[in-house]
Amino acid sequence: MKNVPFKGIIAYPITPFDENDTINLPLFRNMVEKLVVTGSHGIASLGSAGVMPYLSDDEKEAVTEATIQQVNRRIPTLIGVSNLTTERTVHHAQFAEKAGADAVMIIPMSYWKLTDDEIVAHYDAVAKKISIPIMAYNNPATGGVDMSPVLLKRLLEIPNVTMIKESTGDIQRMHFLRKELGEDVTFYNGSNPLALAAFAAGARGWCTAAPNLIPELNLDLYKAIEKNQLAEAQNVFYKQVELLKFIVAKGLPRAVKAGLDILGEESGHLRKPLKPLTEKEFEEFRKILIGIKN
Amino acid sequence: MKNVPFKGIIAYPITPFDENDTINLPLFRNMVEKLVVTGSHGIASLGSAGVMPYLSDDEKEAVTEATIQQVNRRIPTLIGVSNLTTERTVHHAQFAEKAGADAVMIIPMSYWKLTDDEIVAHYDAVAKKISIPIMAYNNPATGGVDMSPVLLKRLLEIPNVTMIKESTGDIQRMHFLRKELGEDVTFYNGSNPLALAAFAAGARGWCTAAPNLIPELNLDLYKAIEKNQLAEAQNVFYKQVELLKFIVAKGLPRAVKAGLDILGEESGHLRKPLKPLTEKEFEEFRKILIGIKN
Amino acid sequence: MKNVPFKGIIAYPITPFDENDTINLPLFRNMVEKLVVTGSHGIASLGSAGVMPYLSDDEKEAVTEATIQQVNRRIPTLIGVSNLTTERTVHHAQFAEKAGADAVMIIPMSYWKLTDDEIVAHYDAVAKKISIPIMAYNNPATGGVDMSPVLLKRLLEIPNVTMIKESTGDIQRMHFLRKELGEDVTFYNGSNPLALAAFAAGARGWCTAAPNLIPELNLDLYKAIEKNQLAEAQNVFYKQVELLKFIVAKGLPRAVKAGLDILGEESGHLRKPLKPLTEKEFEEFRKILIGIKN
Amino acid sequence: MKNVPFKGIIAYPITPFDENDTINLPLFRNMVEKLVVTGSHGIASLGSAGVMPYLSDDEKEAVTEATIQQVNRRIPTLIGVSNLTTERTVHHAQFAEKAGADAVMIIPMSYWKLTDDEIVAHYDAVAKKISIPIMAYNNPATGGVDMSPVLLKRLLEIPNVTMIKESTGDIQRMHFLRKELGEDVTFYNGSNPLALAAFAAGARGWCTAAPNLIPELNLDLYKAIEKNQLAEAQNVFYKQVELLKFIVAKGLPRAVKAGLDILGEESGHLRKPLKPLTEKEFEEFRKILIGIKN
């Protein structure tokens, strides 16, 4: 298998702000620490949950360094370095490598829909400038570009593009990747409500912000899969599915913040234009989360 | 559990015609017989694979009787009785009950999109006129109406609507049904490429035309699930997934006919406007099917 | 120009039933008469508004004959003859021609999505059996098949397919037809809320059930277009656009029936599973319709 | 009517780069000059055509100043100031006002889908910090957020949000705005292939990059509309519709650059990941453009 540092539960911290819209780095480091000590198998900052596109270049670099220092090689780290322009993507990928990241994650962000050739050239340009592996991330709901399984297969021909993160929620994409590329292809699931189906289809890991709130259940699902126990996996999945659907439907940064508030943990502020959940949404989530914890 | 006659592999025969566009009943009975003797757990005629909407009332009745006589209670039978009007649906449901069917399957066919209240009244009107159980069938790709999980939940409140067949291919619908209705809800998967994910999610059975071509693989998947062996289920699923996708993409009647031709079995003719696969599609399918059989 | 009997406002009567679910033919003839005397330029029965797919063969034939007799050649008549099978479509097309229809309208109804070749063969088979012109009707929302502009262009190569009715509501389809086929192509608009834009794009006529309720406004729009008066057309369009959107959103048979009730005219019953508008919808429609009439 | 500086043809320059990926400001000013002297009624820089999201803050400010200096109040100027965060949007809006812009254009860019309340708060925060009018811009295909007509109506309640630019290509949105808000509402069309239908529906202007290539035809369409001559408008629209569809389908920056190359004018370079049209696309466009010019 190619250079693939991740498997299991890859946890995504949010990026918390203080009341002056400055990143609260000490709180961020606490959040990362909690994800490590509760057992996650990898840490991925500057993802969608981490509101990466809302950050300035300086802020992204500060979060990158904070992540890597805090994790301190206890588990592998993955850093989001996506940007609308190729030049900025290269810049952030190189920064992450120098800072000590084990891999970078890239989603082809679009304003103008990119052609397949533009996307391949974009990944290729970054890949040539770094030596750590790249996770190609497909999530049309946030990035605005939908990379077909055929395009993902093309990307995997670039030497250090070694991992696919599929977040469309379409299980057939994973079937295609596995069928086309054989058992060696390494794909990860990024759609929370698809966690059980994706593991059943052969996903090597689950990229998720849920461990900020319910790390034990997330890990238990993976353990059941590793033990080849379908009935147990089904059982533990149905315990968490409502929460998984809720946090996706409401947006991960808003929902994780609300969940931390419900659990009585420090959550920080959101960056505008993002606003907290409404009171009604908050109460709906409280019921779901308290129901799970009891 | 309520009155639920089916579990496992529920096999759907096609309806073959002769060159004069008349149903070839002896061939149809052979096809049913093959499905029974190769091990299917139930037989469902007059479904989508059976081109039910293309048949006259007399033809539907002949197929109903032929099915029930041929199966002869060795395994349970399910008869499709869907119609655009409520009056005709009642008529065919009553006919199926008298003929000895174990259950009927109803999809709310639409020309005008039906409201939820119209759909509930439609099922209720049929349910009051028969005493055998009803499988409510959701397949917007053919029927044109998409019944939400919330509506399906409402239908299950009608006493003899005891089963749901979900063919949208959206695994989240099954999660919703199971989560809302508990472990007692009986749902079946009607989307072939979703077979593994649906069983993982708790589907009680798989409604499929694939046993016309590859009954052993279909049954092996179910056996692995029953034994709680996820890795084995995954392995046997990936052996058949390409075929499952192909037969759905090309339309079940066209694809099953082509598959029988490839296997050297009698397949009959299609009713116009349906036409056989093109030569190119046929060759593509031959590769897939021969690849599986070897 | 090829054989094209229609322009202007082509009016679609509904099909009314009595309380025993039998077609109320005298009431139907009254409805047709009203459409003729209020000035419509053509009459089209057995369309979507006329719930054609919900009728038996005998009922379709009775409606065909009643239409042609009642119109009595004062204006041209168009008869819907669509059916799932090619054989039944030929049958009804031949019946309509013998009964004296000026043209037939055919939508490729689908249960199984039809391929382009199947659709062309379907139209070709009918066209060879009749000598009156055919209007090819594209309405994926009811028929379930979306015929691309490229396919519609192919259909127009069949000698007596001389007219296109476009009901997708996508004005770009009309631009394509006109651009590809030149000023001689004859296309009609079947999407009520697109009436102004379609005439601006060069539609030869508007196929609509609205003249059952507001014939003057429908005709005034066409008159303004004929006089090349854009501002006047815009003005008269905005007077009726809310009603046009409402009757499409609620389904033409339900909405026209409700409108007739509001206007104090006889409306008959709907065939199940169709149900009347809810009380709330009815009141919403009353406000719109009374607002227009005053 | 509220403070509304624009009507007619509002022209969007592209942003050209040199071979070192630096904005070519002299060329940009030439492009703006050409748009002014060929008769456009307004200039809008930093729009989608101007690849605004791909520019750094410094670059945006340089383009803003270059636009306003070059136009020099001969016609009104509109500056795009959209940003993912509210803080940056306020910053750029204030910069544009100080630099002398007549209005700013804001599209609610999304990574996380924004709620209606978040969008209203976002516009409101900007509106409070500037005194020039705001054009609210809806274009889900680029921005990723689809603002419903109901939300647009809400935005118009903010005092200096006085204009709507609708780029969904759905003519029904315009009908709704006009019907709900009366003849005083000021909406502009941003979907090139909808130009005729939008003017027919009452759009006050057309926001378009087409004047970079075919200014006369764009202006002729508006003149025919102003003269209330529908047939003439239709005629001049069909002369340009293929080009309008092509430049949207291929992406405005790529297509305008190619068009300038075909016309023998200086076009500059694109910023990566954007790439020029393929040779095949270029030839297809040459045929369209040369066909129009002859």
Q: Which two tokens stand for residue A269?
A: 């502020």
Contact A85 D273 (CB under 8 A): yes
* A67-71, C167-171, C255-259: segment of lowest average pLDDT: C167-171
Where is pLDDT greater, at A1 or A29? A29
Chains linked to C by 3 or more Cβ pairs within 8 Å: B, D
Catalytic residue among C12, C60, C123, C137: C137
Using omega within 30 degrees of 0 as the cis cutoff, is the peptide bond preceding C273 cis? Answer: yes
Q: How many interface pairs between A and D have CB atoms less than 8 angstroms apart?
A: 88
Contacts of A273 in chain D (CB under 8 A): 85-86, 108, 114, 118-119, 121-122
Q: Which two tokens stand for residue A189?
A: 């699931």
User: Nearest C-alpha of chain D: how many angstroms from A184?
Assistant: 30
SS3 assignment, position B182: coil
Contacts of A175 in chain B (CB under 8 A): 193, 238, 241, 245
Residue B2 pLDDT class (50, 70, 90 cuts) = low
D222 is catalytic: no
What is the domain extent for residue B56? 8-217
Packing angle of the helix pair C86-99, C57-71 (nearest 10 deg): 30
Residues A200-221, mean pLDDT to the nearest whole number: 98
Using omega within 30 degrees of 0 as the cis cutoff, is the peptide bond preceding B273 cis? Answer: yes
Mutate to test the interface with D, among A57, A85, A117, A257 (most CBs of D within 10 A): A85
Contact C201 D225 (CB under 8 A): no
In chain A, the percentage of residues whose pLDDT exceeds 90 is 91
Q: Look up tokens 């993507």; give the residue.
A: A89
**The total number of residues written for chain C in this structure:** 294
CA distance D237 to D220: 9
Residue B1 pLDDT class (50, 70, 90 cuts) = very low
User: Nearest C-alpha of chain D: how many angstroms from A113?
Assistant: 8
Q: Could you tell me which of A178, A258, B252, A117 has the C-alpha nearest to residue C113? A: B252
Contacts of B244 in chain A (CB under 8 A): none
In chain C, the percentage of residues whose pLDDT exceeds 90 is 91
**Is A143 domain-assigned?**
yes
**Is C270 domain-assigned?**
no
CA distance D140 to D115: 14
Buried b (16+ CB within 10 A) or exposed e, C245-265: bbbbebbbbbbbbbbbbbeee
Note whether A touches C: 3 CB pairs or more under 8 A.
Answer: no
**Is B272 domain-assigned?**
no
| Per-position DSSP letters for chain C, written without gaps between them | --S----EEEE-----B-TTS-B-HHHHHHHHHHHHHTT-SEEEESSTTTTGGGS-HHHHHHHHHHHHHHHTTSS-EEEE---SSHHHHHHHHHHHHHHT-SEEEE----SSPPPHHHHHHHHHHHHTT--S-EEEEE-HHHHS----HHHHHHHTTSTTEEEEEE-S--HHHHHHHHHHH-TT--EEE--GGGHHHHHHHT-SEEEESGGGT-HHHHHHHHHHHHTTBHHHHHHHHHHHHHHHHHHHHH-HHHHHHHHHHHTT----BPPTT--PPPHHHHHHHHHHHHHHH-
CB D67 within 8 A of CB D227: no
Would you please indicate which residues of B are annotated as catalytic (active-site) residues? Answer: 137, 165
CA distance A254 to A160: 34
Contact A230 B234 (CB under 8 A): no
**Is C55 domain-assigned?**
yes
pLDDT of residue C156: 94
CB A124 within 8 A of CB A160: no
Contact A21 D87 (CB under 8 A): yes
Question: What confidence tens digit (pLDDT) does each residue in D5-43 have?
Answer: 999 999 999 999 999 999 999 999 999 999 999 999 999
Residues C54-65, mean pLDDT to the nearest whole number: 97
Q: Could you tell me which of D105, D247, D80, D85 has the C-alpha nearest to residue D165? A: D105
Q: Could you tell me which of C208, C214, C191 has the C-alpha nearest to residue C260? A: C214
Buried b (16+ CB within 10 A) or exposed e, A228-263: ebbebbbebbbebbbbbbbbbebbbbbbbbbbbbbe
Q: CA triplet B88, B86, C282: central angle to 5 degrees?
A: 150
Q: How far is CA A259 from the centre of its chain?
A: 18
pLDDT of residue B180: 84
pLDDT of residue A1: 46
Contacts of C244 in chain D (CB under 8 A): none
Question: What confidence tens digit (pLDDT) does each residue in A231-280 have?
Answer: 999 999 999 999 999 999 999 999 999 999 999 999 999 999 999 999 99
Q: Which two tokens stand for residue C44?
A: 């089209």
Residues A132-139, mean pLDDT to the nearest whole number: 96
How many structural domains is chain A composed of? 1
pLDDT of residue B184: 74
CB C142 within 8 A of CB B111: yes
pLDDT of residue D143: 81
Q: How far is CA D5 from the centre of its chain?
A: 15
Question: What confidence tens digit (pLDDT) does each residue in C67-106 have?
Answer: 999 999 999 999 999 999 999 999 999 999 999 999 999 9
Contact B85 C117 (CB under 8 A): no
**CA-based Rg of chain A, rounded to a whole angstrom?**
18
**CA-based Rg of chain D, rounded to a whole angstrom?**
18
User: Nearest C-alpha of chain C: how many angstroms from B110?
Assistant: 8
The kind and range of the H/E element at A91 are: helix A86-99
Residue of B nearest to C276 (CA): B118
Residue C2 pLDDT class (50, 70, 90 cuts) = low
Task: Calculate the alpha carbon distances from B38 to B220, B240, D128, D188, D241 in Å.
Answer: 12, 17, 74, 65, 60
**The total number of residues written for chain A in this structure:** 294
**Is C278 domain-assigned?**
no
Res. C294: pLDDT tops 90: no
- Interface check for D233 against chain C (CB to CB < 8 A): the answer is yes
Question: How many helices and strands (H and E) does chain D possess?
Answer: 12, 8
Which CATH number characterizes residue B50's domain? 3.20.20.70
- Interface check for A69 against chain D (CB to CB < 8 A): the answer is no
What are the CB-based long-range contacts (under 8 Å, 24+) for B256-264?
Answer: B256/B14, B256/B49, B256/B209, B256/B212, B256/B213, B257/B14, B257/B16, B258/B282, B258/B285, B259/B212, B259/B213, B259/B285, B259/B289, B260/B212, B260/B213, B262/B286, B262/B289, B262/B290, B263/B213, B263/B289, B263/B293
Res. A200: pLDDT tops 70: yes
User: Nearest C-alpha of chain A: how many angstroms from B191?
Assistant: 11
Contact A197 B197 (CB under 8 A): yes
Contact C121 B272 (CB under 8 A): yes
Q: Could you tell me which of A101, A51, A105, A8 has the C-alpha nearest to residue A275? A: A51
- Interface check for B263 against chain A (CB to CB < 8 A): the answer is no
- Interface check for D276 against chain A (CB to CB < 8 A): the answer is no
Q: CA triplet C34, C36, C42: central angle to 5 degrees?
A: 135
Res. C261: pLDDT tops 80: yes
Q: Which two tokens stand for residue B114?
A: 């039906």
**Is D141 domain-assigned?**
yes
CA dihedral B35, B40, B43, B47 (to 10 degrees): -80
Contacts of D112 in chain A (CB under 8 A): 48, 51, 142, 251-254, 274
Q: CA triplet D79, D81, D82: central angle to 5 degrees?
A: 135
pLDDT of residue D2: 59
B165 forms bridges with which residues in the sheet? B137, B188
Contacts of D193 in chain C (CB under 8 A): 172, 175
Contacts of A241 in chain B (CB under 8 A): 175, 179
Q: Which of A194, A229, A231 sits opposite B171 (nearest CB)?
A: A194
Res. C1: pLDDT tops 50: no
- Interface check for B58 against chain C (CB to CB < 8 A): the answer is no
CA distance C43 to C215: 13
Q: How many CB atoms lie within 10 A of CB A1?
A: 9
Res. A31: pLDDT tops 80: yes
- Interface check for C121 against chain B (CB to CB < 8 A): the answer is yes
CA distance B271 to C213: 41
pLDDT of residue C59: 98
Q: What is the ipTM of this complex?
A: 0.94
pLDDT of residue B3: 85
Contact D200 C225 (CB under 8 A): no
- Interface check for D181 against chain C (CB to CB < 8 A): the answer is no
Contact C229 D228 (CB under 8 A): yes
Packing angle of the helix pair C116-127, C86-99 (nearest 10 deg): 30
CA distance A41 to C30: 76
Res. B294: pLDDT tops 50: yes
**Is B91 domain-assigned?**
yes
Q: CA triplet B57, B60, B63: central angle to 5 degrees?
A: 155
Question: What confidence tens digit (pLDDT) does each residue in C141-197 have?
Answer: 888 889 998 999 999 999 999 999 999 999 999 999 998 888 777 999 999 999 999
D135 forms bridges with which residues in the sheet? D105, D163
Task: Calculate the alpha carbon distances from D238 to C34, C183, D235, D260 in Å.
Answer: 38, 10, 5, 22
- Interface check for D195 against chain C (CB to CB < 8 A): the answer is no
- Interface check for D245 against chain A (CB to CB < 8 A): the answer is no
**Is A80 domain-assigned?**
yes
Q: Could you tell me which of A174, C176, A161 has the C-alpha nearest to residue B241? A: A174
Residue of A nearest to B170 (CA): A170
Residues D263-270, mean pLDDT to the nearest whole number: 98
A137 is catalytic: yes
**The total number of residues written for chain D in this structure:** 294
Report pTM.
Answer: 0.94
Q: Which two tokens stand for residue C279?
A: 């009380």
Chains linked to B by 3 or more Cβ pairs within 8 Å: A, C
